[in-house]
Every structure is written in structure tokens, then in C-alpha cells.
Structure 1
Amino acid sequence: MGHSIALNFEDGVTRFIECRSGETVADASYRVGINIPLDCRDGACGTCKCRVESGRYDGGSYIEDALTDEEAAGGLALACQMRPETDLVLAIPASSEVCKTKGQSFEAPLRAVERLSETSIAFSLDAPAGLAFLPGQYVNILVPGTDQRRSYSFSSAPGAAAVSFLVRDIPRGMMSTWLREGAAPGTPLELVGPAGSFYLREVKRPLLFLAGGTGLAPFLSMLGKLAAAGTGGQPVHLVYGVTNDADLVEVPRLEEFAASLPGFTFATCVAAEGSAHPRKGYVTAHIEPAHLNGGEVDVYLCGPPPMVDAVRAWLGGQGVAPANFYYEKFSPSGAVTVTGETHRQAA
């Protein structure tokens, strides 16, 4: 039986390939024309070294100069030697262009547009055949009638019959204007992707999710995945912050996850002083010491640049460094500005 392998390149492009039973990842990649870094094919040079983000595999045979015991224990493997035992997610230390591949193009009809509040819109498309993505990733969508693309994170879980997205309703925003004024069910939209290094890794410790505004979208996708796959008994806490009361959307979906996903809890907060919400201020005011778990926690953060910078500074001042810290910044126009990750230690 074969396994699905997600190759995430350093420029954020992700390609999914099928690895046949007994086949190495390198052989499967080259079979479909994706030239990941490779030289000797014998486990002797280390050129094809990659990071395994999730999944199990047989690491094969190699020499110490190619991959040390410490590197192997820390999640690195050689693509020319590894044979998957489950589906895998691999971080490839090269760009998609260098590996002679690129994001895939899809076309999907608009299914529905939903006004969530005076500041937020949700829309969904029929999931196109062949589209796969990691929970947390985004896709680039061509705004109908223009030559402009906008990047939106999936708010739906992988494998759903429809893919959905959240949009900040900006008065003159290209996509939000089209959704308000020109969208009609059945209209075809062009998608390119998936992309992004902000995605859910294998759950090995407690998770702390921090969302700002429509930065909630990737967490809804992650929670959908966790609801289907489980958390391995690890607690998951989300702090969802917005500027004004009207920006607070999709709370019923979070309540559904809280009722159905063991160990999941969440808190919402509103920054505006005149808000009627019971929890005021920014997300950092509602992170409790228990949520950081003495540093044994993986933190995921998605929101506008000022929020991401403020949270990073706040975490740096707590004297407790999370085991892993993944973040993504986005602009109101629907463009992802920065995707990054930090690790307390190479692992």
C-alpha cells in the first residue's frame, strides 16, 4: 500500500505525491518529475537531507557523515533512503523552482457567500478534484474580472467536500467588493496552491493557538483536522482576539469543537475599550502560565503584523521559550506577508 507524501519547499509551495510500497521518497519524487536535492542515492553524501514534520518511516542505511545519530533523533532523514510507513509531511530545504516544480492550478465553482458580520465574509467553493493541503495553509485565488490574486487560508479541514475561507470586508477591497456585489453561485474561481509553512505539525505536546481577526481561519482548519485525527491526549487552547465586537465571528464553530474535541478550550477577547465583551484587551492578557506549560508547548500564531510582533515580544519577555513557535502575518488585502517558525532547539 502506498502513502501520501507532502513535500513543503522553503518558498512555501507544497506538492503532494504518492509513494509506492517499498519506494523511497527520492524515487517517488523523481518519478513524477520533482527534482528534490539529490546526489549519491547511496546514503553517503547527505545532499537529500530533509526534516520529517509528521509520520513514521524506515530511515534506511547511511553513513555517519551523511546523517548523524543526533540529526536522525531530531527528525532529519535522507530522502534517498527513507521508506514511508505512514503518510508523511517533509520540509525540503530548497525552493520549488530549484526542484523544477511549482504550485498547482485548480478551478472550482463558487458554492456560497455568507455575511458573518458587518466586517467579515465567508465563502466556499466546491473542492476541486486533486486539491490537497495541510491544515493551516493558504491558496492564491484570482479575483474574477481582474488580474489580481489574493491569498486566503483554508478555514475548512482537508478532505471536506467544500473548501471555505474567511475574508475581512474592506470597502474597496477587490475580493470583498466582488463577494458583496458580483458573486453568483457557480462562478468559476482559479486557485493556485497550496502554499505556506504555517501548518499543523504532529502533536507531541500541548498546543497554544493565538488568532487575530480573520487569522482564525487556519485554526478552524487545524481544529477540523484534530477533530478527525485526535490530539493524542494533549490539551489544545485557543485565544482569539479582535479589535471590535463586530470582528468576532465563527464563535459557534468554536463552541462545537469545544463540545466534540476532548481537551479543547478557547477564550475570546476584544481590544476596543468601548466593547461590551466580557474579556477586554489583547490576546497576551489572556494567556495563563498553564497555557505555556513551562515551555513544553507548541505555539501557533496568526494575525496582522502588529499583533504578531507584539506577541513575539511578549513571549520573549516571559522567560519561558516554547518548544516550537510557528507564526504567520497577513495584510488586510489578503496577502500573506511573512510565514516563519522558531525553535527553541533543533528538533
Structure 2
Amino acid sequence: MSSYRIALNFEDGVTRIIDCGAKEKVLDAAFRNRINLPMDCSDGVCGTCKCRAESGLYDLGDDYIDDALSSDEAGAGMVLTCQMVPQSDCVIAVPVASTACKTGTASFTGKVAGLSDLGGAAFELVLEAPANAPAFLPGQYVNIGVPGSGQHRSYSFSSPSGASRMSFLIKNVPGGLMSNWLAGASEGATLELTGPLGSFYLRPVKRPVLMLAGGTGLAPFLSMLEELAQQGLDQPVHLIYGVTRDQDLVLVERLQALADRLPGFSFTTCVADPATTHARQGYVTQHMPAAVLHDGNVDVYLCGPPPMVEAVQKHFQATGMQPASFYYEKFASSQPAVASASAAAAAAAAV
């Protein structure tokens, strides 16, 4: 392979994905892309360029000194970008803000190519991906400007990276700024986007995975599952998709199509409304059998509103379940357009 994709995740949530030659050092590739990663000596002596490789294969050579990178640090995934030569696609956590590296979020536009009203509960927005659309990690989000408002809203991609069209699952909020615009939008309308952003993204699948989606928090999992369908899968992945009302349960047919394409993937759905006619009433924590927890040998991904995230955390604490990894993203619906509150807030963390 002549080059590899290197995702640089900065501590302010910005991600830049660059190409790095098969024999090129990551620091050199970053500079070639006008990204000034931290550095001083560039000879493996000072340790200034130290970062953490979160995934991928690479060679560090033997030209650096222990004071710059100890064997314990190297064993824990720390790297010197001035010495690191990739042997596969890699994800690197950079311990500084993107602005300190003279880079930042990419800005681009997308034209509306499709818009579906999903039973009044949500919209599915599809945009044509322009030639300059940046690559992203499955699970990340972008900020989308609401035309004529000077404001933006944050939405996770539901499509895989590199596709000719970008899709988003957007909750229909009565009186919401974006919801109001979408209700009257037409094909060909242009939207301004910035990103990608976020530290909630799919890591290499090395053990069983449990995905927990609340409402339109399903979106990033659709992107992750599409990525897994392209890569192949040798570990079980189970998704529990919980909503408040029957009509909020959308795109279930797409999940079934993914289950048909992806051996090892399964899903269940549940509805919290006591008056539901759905087969499984209750919250995701009530439909989480021991079999999908694998005695803690599981990576858990959770995307939903803050009360759901807190409920799952409390459930794990109460049951003594400690997953191998726990990644989550909270989101809150935006306020009505007449209010002065800001756009939907998104926060991500990993423990």
C-alpha cells in the first residue's frame, strides 16, 4: 500500500484525517498537510512530539532515546510522531488543541439530495458530499448551519465515511429551529457544515461490543455498522435501541438490513411508554441480558440524552458491571426557535 489514513484527534474535539506514505513519518506527513504537530528536535531525543496511538500498526524504529519515550510508555501505546512510520491506518490522540497546531475544523457545503419525514418523529436528511468533504471516523458529528439564522446544530453522521452522500437522523422538535427549516426545505438547498468533531467514534473491534442507542442517538451507530459491514466482523455486536414513544422507533428496517448483511450483529428494540403496543416495554437497562455483557469483557458504546446516559451509568454501578471500555455521548434537543438557548449540546467521554 502506498499510503495510509491517519486520523489526528486533537484535545478540543477536532479531527483531521491525512494521508501518510508507507515509508513516511507521521510528523512529516502532518507538516506536508500544513498541520504543525508539537515538535522540537524531530530526532527522537526531546519527547515533545509524544502522542498516543489509539489504533493501528506502526514502526517506531530504534533511533529514539529512553528519555524521550520509555519502554513502558511505548508498551502503553505512546508514540513519537517524529519516528512513527505507519503500517496501517491509524488513529492518534494529540494532547493539544487544534488551534495550537495551526489547523482547525474544515468548512464545506452540502446540497440537499433527499429529505424524509419519518412519521413526524424525525427527519432523515441526505446531502450530496462535495469533493472537499473531509473524511471522518464513524460516530463523529458535524455542525450544520441553519440557513438565515446565524446559528448551527450538531448532528452525527448516519452514513459511512467516504460515501457520495452524507446522511443525518434529526429529531423533529416542535418549534425547533432546524425542524422548522427542514419542514419547508427543498432539494438543492445548500447547507454550511463544519467538522468533523467528537471523540465518540468506533475503535478497533477486539472483543464483543454492546451498543446502546436512545432516540436519534441511533445515527452514529448506523455509521459504525456500515463501516463494520464493509470491514467484516469476527466479534459479536449487539445493539439495544430504546425510544420514548412507538412513533419514535424509526429506521428499524435499516437495522434489519444490516443484520442480514453483517453476521454476528443483532439488535433489540424497546419503548418506554407504559401504553406502548411494542413487544418490549421499558428502558434499555431493563432489556440488557447477561449474555450481551460477556461478564464485563465487552466494549460499550452509548449515545442518548443525558438522563439515559446517567441511568446506564447507575445501572452498571448498581450491578457491579465494569465493561472493558465505556464510550458515551450525551445530546440534548435544541430549544424552540423563539428561545434564546443555544444549539443542541454534545459532549463525549470515555472511561
**Do the aligned partners of 1:44 and 1:65 also contact (CA within 8 Å) in 2?**
yes
Residue aligned with 2:199, SS: coil
Which deviates more, 144-153 or 69-78? 69-78
Which residue number corresponds to residue 349 of structure 2?
340
Tell me if 1:163 matches 2:166: yes
Tell me if 1:192 matches 2:201: no
Map of 1:61-76 to 2, 5 A cutoff?
Answer: 61=62, 62-76=64-78
Under a length normalisation based on structure 1, what TM-score does the superposition of the two structures give? 0.95
Q: Which amino acid aligns with 1:229?
A: Q
Deviating above 6 A after TM superposition, structure 1's stretches of 4 or more consecutive aligned residues are none
Residue aligned with 1:26, SS: helix
Which residue number corresponds to residue 340 of structure 2?
none
**Do the aligned partners of 1:9 and 1:95 also contact (CA within 8 Å) in 2?**
yes
Q: Which amino acid aligns with 1:335?
A: A
Gaps of 5+ in 1: 343-347
Which deviates more, 204-213 or 316-325? 316-325
Which residue number corresponds to residue 18 of structure 2?
17
**Do the aligned partners of 1:138 and 1:153 also contact (CA within 8 Å) in 2?**
yes
Which deviates more, 62-71 or 186-195? 62-71
Tell me if 1:134 matches 2:148: no
Which residue number corresponds to residue 339 of structure 2?
none
Under a length normalisation based on structure 2, what TM-score does the superposition of the two structures give? 0.94
**Once the 2 structures are TM-superposed, how far is the Cα of residue 47 of structure 1 from its aligned partner?**
2.1
Tell me if 1:111 matches 2:120: no
How far apart are the structure 1 equivalents of 2:50 and 2:131?
31
Residue aligned with 2:241, SS: strand
How far apart are the structure 2 equivalents of 1:297 and 1:76?
24
Seq. identity, %: 57
Residue aligned with 1:27, SS: helix
Residue aligned with 1:317, SS: helix
**Do the aligned partners of 2:154 and 2:346 also contact (CA within 8 Å) in 1?**
no
Residue aligned with 2:144, SS: strand
**Once the 2 structures are TM-superposed, how far is the Cα of residue 76 of structure 1 from its aligned partner?**
2.0
How far apart are the structure 2 equivalents of 1:197 and 1:180?
31
How far apart are the structure 2 equivalents of 1:91 and 1:113?
35
How far apart are the structure 1 equivalents of 2:328 and 2:132?
27
**Once the 2 structures are TM-superposed, how far is the Cα of residue 27 of structure 1 from its aligned partner?**
1.1
**Do the aligned partners of 1:135 and 1:222 also contact (CA within 8 Å) in 2?**
yes
**What number of residue pairs does the alignment pair up?**
340
The correspondence for 2:225, drawn from 223, 231, 253, is 223
Which residue number corresponds to residue 316 of structure 1?
317
Tell me if 1:82 matches 2:84: yes
Cα RMSD for the two superposed structures: 1.2
Deviations 1:111-158 (A, max 9, x none): 011011221111100012132111000011111111001110000111
How far apart are the structure 1 equivalents of 2:22 and 2:258?
36
The correspondence for 1:98, drawn from 82, 92, 100, is 100
Map of 1:279-318 to 2, 5 A cutoff?
Answer: 279-318=280-319
**Do the aligned partners of 1:17 and 1:29 also contact (CA within 8 Å) in 2?**
yes
Tell me if 1:180 matches 2:183: yes
Residue aligned with 1:175, SS: helix
**Do the aligned partners of 2:26 and 2:86 also contact (CA within 8 Å) in 1?**
yes
The correspondence for 2:123, drawn from 111, 114, 121, is 121
Which residue number corresponds to residue 151 of structure 2?
148
**Once the 2 structures are TM-superposed, how far is the Cα of residue 263 of structure 1 from its aligned partner?**
0.4
How far apart are the structure 2 equivalents of 1:138 and 1:207?
21
Which residue number corresponds to residue 345 of structure 1?
none
How far apart are the structure 2 equivalents of 1:204 and 1:21?
24
**Do the aligned partners of 1:328 and 1:336 also contact (CA within 8 Å) in 2?**
no
Residue aligned with 1:97, SS: helix
**Do the aligned partners of 1:4 and 1:17 also contact (CA within 8 Å) in 2?**
yes
How far apart are the structure 1 equivalents of 2:13 and 2:144?
16
How far apart are the structure 2 equivalents of 1:320 and 1:44?
43
How far apart are the structure 2 equivalents of 1:25 and 1:256?
38
Q: Which amino acid aligns with 1:87?
A: D
Which residue number corresponds to residue 55 of structure 1?
56
Which residue number corresponds to residue 330 of structure 1?
331
**Once the 2 structures are TM-superposed, how far is the Cα of residue 337 of structure 1 from its aligned partner?**
2.9
Map of 1:241-252 to 2, 5 A cutoff?
Answer: 241-252=242-253
**Once the 2 structures are TM-superposed, how far is the Cα of residue 71 of structure 1 from its aligned partner?**
2.5
Residue aligned with 1:211, SS: strand
**Once the 2 structures are TM-superposed, how far is the Cα of residue 32 of structure 1 from its aligned partner?**
2.1
Tell me if 1:201 matches 2:176: no
